[in-house]
Amino acid sequence: MINIVLFGKPGAGKGTQAEFLKTKYNLTHISTGDIFRYNIKNETPLGLEAKSYINKGELVPDALTIKMLQDEIEKNPDTKGFLFDGFPRTTEQADALDEFLKTKGWGVTATVALEADDEVLVARLLERGKTSGRADDQDEALIRNRYQEYNEKTAPLIEYYKAQGKFHAVNGIGEIAEITNRLSAVIDTL
C-alpha cells in the first residue's frame, strides 16, 4: 500500500500530474476538488455548503472536507494505494487523515509538493479560467486570496511532513513530461 499526498498551490499542476501518476503506479486518485465539484454539481447538502466557501476564495472547513474524503476512501477498499490531491491542506487535516488511515492499518507514505512561482501560477489559473467556468479561476483577487490562504494554512504542512521524513519538493515549472519524470524519480525511491 502506497499513499501519496500531492500538494502545491492552486494551478501548480496537481490534477494534471495526478492523471499520469495514478496510471503509472495503479493508485486511486482522490481529488478534493473533484469531490467538491461532484457534490456541488449534484447539489448535495455538503456540496452546497462547500460552494459557499469556494465562491469566496476560502478553504472549505476541515470537518466538511474530511467527511467527503472518508466517504470516498470507503468506496475503494481494495485499492493498491491512494494519491491524495488537494488534501490535506492544514495540519489538522493531516492529523485527521493519519488517524483515519490508521483505522484501516494504513499510513501516508510520502508527501510530494509541486513548487512554482506565484506569478506563473496566477497566469496559469487565469488562462484555465477562460475555459473552466470556475469563478475562482477568473478573478485575480480571488486567486491571490487562495494563495494567502495556502501560505497561512497549507505551507505549515511542509514542516509537519519534514518532521516525519516524508516531505519531497519537486519543481513544478516546465513541460508536463519533465515534471512527471521529476515526480516519478521521487516516487520510485519510496
- Residue 60, all three cell numbers: 472549505
Domain boundaries, the chain: 2-178
For 104, half-sphere exposure in the C-beta direction (CA atoms, 13 angstrom radius) is 20
Catalytically active residues, by annotation: 14, 89, 128, 134, 146
At 29 the three-state DSSP class reads strand
Q: Which of 126, 111, 124 is nearest to 174 (CA)?
A: 124
Q: How many whole angstroms separate alpha carbon 71 and alpha carbon 52?
A: 21
- Residue 124, all three cell numbers: 496559469
Indicate if the pLDDT at residue 59 is higher than 80: no
Q: How many whole angstroms separate alpha carbon 107 and alpha carbon 82?
A: 10
Write out the CATH class of domain 2-178. alpha beta
What sections of 55-139 are H helices per DSSP?
62-74, 91-103, 118-132
Q: How many whole angstroms separate alpha carbon 90 and alpha carbon 93?
A: 5
| pTM assigned to the model | 0.83
At 41 the three-state DSSP class reads helix
pLDDT tens-place string over residues 39-51: 899 998 989 998 8
pLDDT tens-place string over residues 76-104: 989 999 999 988 988 989 999 999 999 99
Q: How many whole angstroms separate alpha carbon 135 and alpha carbon 123?
A: 15
- Could you tell me the sign of the dihedral formed by the alpha carbons of 22, 23, 26, 29, in that order? positive
pLDDT tens-place string over residues 114-172: 999 999 999 989 989 999 888 888 989 989 988 888 888 888 899 999 999 999 999 99
